[in-house]
Structure 1
Amino acid sequence: MQFKIRAATKGDCKEVSRMIMELAVYEKMPDQVKISHEELERDGFCQNPFFECLVAEVPEEHKSKEGLTIVGYALYFYTYSTWKGRTQYLEDLYVMPEFRGNGIGKGLLSKVAEVGKTKECVRLQLSVLNWNKPSLDFYAAKGAQDLTASEGWHFIRFDGQNLENLANEAPKDE
């Protein structure tokens, strides 16, 4: 199947927002999605964007049952390792179910890696739910290392009231 991978535009945010919800449903966490396409537009297409995004697009003749041509996305951002340097973090990689198995996911992942290499990133990191064997197998087949098993790293998060409490404990400037 023909498809192309391109940088997302502000106008793609509604489609990306739709696929974010589809991914959340697949991951059994649809109630966790609180972001709107307007926030995606604001945060991804400002002077200093918080993320970058690629979309997979198929020609009109291969559009989805619903008439959609944007059928996948990869959303990523940059972090920094004090041990290794520039790092890319892949937040989401998603392909609509009816388009899986056509190389679109591999194309998106490879394009993210290519973008990172042009920006001199030394690694690409991501998180996968422990029950998501298809994704774990997909990334492993491409050479990804599971750091949970090999190095024992845990993924830690502060949010909501706990983040608020932590911020409130910051030393005050005098």
Structure 2
Amino acid sequence: MNYKIRAARKEDCKDIARMIMELAVFEKMPDQVNISVEELERDGFCPNPFFECLIAEMSDEHNSKCLTVVGYALYFFTYSTWKGPTVFLEDLYVMPEFRGNGVGKGLMSKVAKVAKEKRCVRLQLAVLDWNSPARDFYAAKGAQDLTDSEGWHFIRFDGLSLDNLVKEAPKD
């Protein structure tokens, strides 16, 4: 199967939004998605973007100029005070009918390449505990499960808990 990986462009946001919803359905959380195409365009394609994204495209076997977006990897940079620059892979998704052809591996490897070019010392991600195929895929590539080995837990503040935390901030 012929596929190409490239940096996402603003006009890809409709496809990215579609695949975000497909991923959310797969993860049994479609009601959690409330990002719009316009927000993706604004947040990813501004002077200081909040995220970067790679797109996987397949060419139609009958028409090489007809490309179909079949996967994406959305990531952003963060910083470890112990280790230094880090890339966080927020989403890695390939449409089901295109899985098993190396597209996911290609996307993840390309994110790793971008990370190394930016001097990142590690690539981090989160995966649902029940998603054994993904966990096995990452383990086969050498990933460590920090929940098991180091006992780290991801913690989140959102909605009311985030608002309440803001209210406790000292006055300027």
CA distance in 2, matches of 1:136, 1:2: 26
Match of 2:141 in 1: 142
Report matched runs for 1:20-169 at 5 Å: 20-61=20-61, 69-169=68-168
Map Cα deviations across residues 130-161 of structure 1 (whole Å, 9 max, x no partner).
00000000000000000000000000000000
Structure 2 counterpart of 1:20, one-letter code: I
Give yes or no for contact 1:93–1:108 (8 Å, CA) kept in 2.
yes
Displacement of 1:22 after TM fit?
0.1
**Runs of 5+ in structure 2 lacking a partner?**
none
Give yes or no for contact 1:85–1:122 (8 Å, CA) kept in 2.
yes
Give yes or no for contact 1:89–1:124 (8 Å, CA) kept in 2.
yes
Displacement of 1:62 after TM fit?
7.4
CA distance in 1, matches of 2:101, 2:38: 31
SS in 1 for 2:151: coil
**Runs of 5+ in structure 1 lacking a partner?**
none
SS in 2 for 1:144: coil
CA distance in 2, matches of 1:130, 1:117: 28
Structure 1 vs Structure 2: percent identity of aligned residues? 77
Q: How large is the RMSD of aligned CA atoms in angstroms?
A: 1.3
SS in 1 for 2:61: helix
Map Cα deviations across residues 25-51 of structure 1 (whole Å, 9 max, x no partner).
000000000001110000000000000
- In the superposition, relative to structure 1, how do residues 34 and 102 fare at CA in structure 2: closer, same or farther (>3 Å)? same
CA distance in 2, matches of 1:142, 1:13: 29
CA distance in 2, matches of 1:127, 1:161: 23
Match of 1:2 in 2: 2
CA distance in 2, matches of 1:126, 1:114: 16
Match of 2:14 in 1: 14
SS in 2 for 1:59: strand
Give yes or no for contact 2:59–2:67 (8 Å, CA) kept in 1.
no
Give yes or no for contact 1:73–1:95 (8 Å, CA) kept in 2.
yes
Structure 2 counterpart of 1:101, one-letter code: G
SS in 1 for 2:157: coil
CA distance in 1, matches of 2:131, 2:60: 31
TM-score with structure 2 length normalisation? 0.97
Question: How many equivalent residue pairs?
Answer: 170
